[in-house]
């Protein structure tokens, strides 16, 4: 993660603009004085820089929840703030020098709005969830030029490695998304995907709610797959295999193909490691036989006017509220010069959305952008509106 280790923080007078970077407002954690968020805009993209004391070091870094896909924008914002506020930088991993020319040329990295606003209109789509080193994804894209491959990953170094390969191999049928695949599934149109690969997902033995495979993931997979399309789970974890099998088999009608220790065209880095350790590898392939209804998501993310006082908002910090099929957790509160901001996770338990909610006077807004327009988020939004105004 890009960061600057600084001697002491100095506040700029906000709003402040320099060379295309704008700093808009500060948000201060109401329980920890040493945590300040700085609202930042670079090339129309809004995100927070985060000031935080970490093991006796004062660090200025990027806020994980709002970080933009482009590391360059974060570098630019960090260096601009440090220069303009005359911060004494003791050490840093942020460089101004040589940009990665492969990443410069890349247009394959898309944000979630790209897919939400207008899903690519192509004949054939295949998706790989958690592509890691990308060996399998790159191999598939190279060998099937008429299929659009969408690779979804949340690990930034893996994404950059694959973007570099897309540029080197000049692939024009591969898009990459830095997002939680479980949420992404909800906005894919119905019956357009021919293959979904979930290879060696993190087993999350202690936190099963974080697993990619769940009943709702399979429901979405059945909806987005064409008739005859497949969802391929490949895992070395006997536990994950048993857990997933149980979920698949609970569907009243489903076609599964199960194999043990069978080789596929290309072996991933993980797979090579497990094979050296002589671990068993399990494949569960679901063949879709449903023709699903078109995706139809009704509703919006508007709020009623805020009627209460700020003390009520502050008292929500740390509170979890549940509703049927989901929850809202108010992680922490921040004070703004003219309002209150809540860091919130909301939605369904197995694919929550994390975002900020800003209240200024009567106005309530999400920051920096609206939640993804999915059924579970719309349900959670309706409930949030009631909690804030109830
Ligand atoms: C164990 S690795 C396997 C990587 C690759 N498929 C392979 O076979 O080598 C699992 C990958 O899934 C990614 N991942 C985990 N949860 C995810 C999610 N909800 N959405 C997208 N990617 C996810 C992780 O970042 C990690 O890179």
Ligand 1 within 6 A of 132 CB? yes
Distance between CA atoms of residues 369 and 45, nearest Å = 10
pLDDT for 77 equals: 95
Ligand 1 within 6 A of 176 CB? no
Distance between CA atoms of residues 355 and 65, nearest Å = 7
The residue count of the chain comes to 390
Q: Over the stretch 39-89, which tens digit does the pLDDT of each residue have?
A: 999 998 999 999 998 888 999 999 999 988 778 889 999 999 999 999 999
Ligand 1 within 6 A of 154 CB? yes
pLDDT for 100 equals: 55
pLDDT for 96 equals: 60
Q: Over the stretch 177-235, which tens digit does the pLDDT of each residue have?
A: 999 999 999 999 999 999 999 999 999 999 998 999 999 999 999 999 999 999 999 99
Ligand 1 within 6 A of 352 CB? no
Instruction: Give me 319's structure tokens.
Output: 């509170």
| Cα of 219 vs its chain's centroid, Å | 20
Q: Determine the angle formed by the axes of helices 215-224 and 238-249, rounding to 10 degrees.
A: 60
Task: State which ligand 1 atom lies nearest to the alpha carbon of 201.
Answer: 10
pLDDT for 138 equals: 98
- Find residue 18's DSSP bridge partners: 21
Distance between CA atoms of residues 155 and 172, nearest Å = 22
- pLDDT mean across residues, the chain: 92
Query: Which pTM was predicted?
Result: 0.82
Residue 150 pLDDT > 90:
yes
Is 163 in contact with 102 (CB distance < 8 Å)?
yes
Domain 101-287 listed as CATH 3.60.20.40: no
Ligand 1 within 6 A of 155 CB? yes
- Residues 5-9, mean pLDDT to the nearest whole number: 94
pLDDT for 94 equals: 86
pLDDT for 97 equals: 47
CA 312 to centroid of ligand 1, rounded, Å:
39
Is 112 in contact with 150 (CB distance < 8 Å)?
no
Q: Over the stretch 16-37, which tens digit does the pLDDT of each residue have?
A: 999 999 999 999 999 998 899 9
Tell me which residue has its CA closest to atom 27 in ligand 1: 132
Across 68-79, b (16+ Cβ under 10 Å) vs e yields bbebbbbbbbbb
Instruction: Give me 149's structure tokens.
Output: 């491959």
Burial of 223 from C-beta contacts in 10 A (0-12 / 13-18 / 19+): buried
- Residues 304-314, mean pLDDT to the nearest whole number: 93
Ligand 1 within 6 A of 138 CB? no
Q: Over the stretch 337-390, which tens digit does the pLDDT of each residue have?
A: 999 999 999 998 878 899 999 999 999 999 999 998 888 889 999 999 999 987
CA 266 to centroid of ligand 1, rounded, Å:
17
CA 195 to centroid of ligand 1, rounded, Å:
17
CA 201 to centroid of ligand 1, rounded, Å:
5
Tell me which residue has its CA closest to atom 25 in ligand 1: 155
CA 186 to centroid of ligand 1, rounded, Å:
18
CA 111 to centroid of ligand 1, rounded, Å:
18
Tell me which residue has its CA closest to atom 23 in ligand 1: 130
Instruction: Give me 50's structure tokens.
Output: 């985060």
Distance between CA atoms of residues 147 and 133, nearest Å = 20
């Amino acid at each position: 993660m890009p960061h600057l280790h600084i001697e002491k923080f100095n506040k700029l007078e906000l709003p402040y603009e320099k060379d295309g970077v704008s700093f808009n407002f500060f948000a201060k954690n109401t329980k920890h004085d040493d945590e300040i968020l700085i609202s930042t805009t670079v090339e129309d993209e809004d995100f927070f820089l985060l000031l935080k004391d970490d093991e006796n070091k004062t660090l200025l870094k990027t806020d994980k929840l709002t970080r933009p896909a482009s590391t360059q924008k974060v570098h630019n914002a960090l260096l601009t703030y440090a220069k303009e506020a005359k911060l004494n930088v003791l050490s840093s991993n942020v460089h101004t020098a040589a940009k990665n020319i492969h990443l410069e040329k890349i247009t394959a990295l898309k944000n979630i709005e790209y897919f939400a606003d207008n899903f690519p209109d192509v004949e054939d789509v295949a998706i790989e969830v958690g592509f890691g080193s990308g060996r399998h994804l790159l191999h598939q894209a190279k060998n099937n030029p008429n299929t659009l491959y969408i690779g979804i990953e949340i690990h930034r170094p893996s994404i950059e490695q694959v973007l570099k390969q897309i540029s080197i191999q000049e692939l024009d049928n591969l898009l990459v998304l830095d997002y939680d695949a479980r949420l992404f599934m909800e906005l894919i149109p119905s019956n357009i995907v021919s293959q979904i690969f979930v290879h060696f997902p993190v087993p999350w033995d202690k936190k099963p709610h974080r697993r990619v495979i769940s009943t709702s993931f399979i429901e979405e997979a059945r909806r987005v797959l064409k008739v005859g399309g497949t969802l391929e789970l490949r895992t070395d974890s006997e536990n994950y295999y048993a857990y997933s099998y149980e979920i698949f088999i609970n569907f009243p009608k489903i076609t599964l193909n199960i194999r043990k220790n069978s080789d596929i065209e290309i072996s991933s880095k993980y797979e090579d490691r497990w094979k050296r350790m002589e671990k068993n590898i399990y494949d569960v392939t679901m063949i879709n036989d449903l023709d699903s209804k078109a995706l139809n998501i009704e509703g919006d993310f508007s709020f009623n006017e805020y009627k209460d006082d700020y003390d009520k908002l502050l008292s929500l910090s740390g509170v979890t509220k549940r509703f049927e099929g989901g929850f809202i957790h108010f992680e922490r509160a921040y004070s703004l010069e003219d309002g209150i901001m809540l860091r919130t996770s909301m939605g369904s338990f197995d694919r929550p959305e994390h975002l900020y909610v800003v209240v200024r006077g009567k106005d309530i807004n999400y920051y920096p952008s609206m939640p993804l327009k999915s059924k579970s988020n719309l349900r959670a939004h309706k409930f949030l509106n009631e909690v804030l105004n109830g």
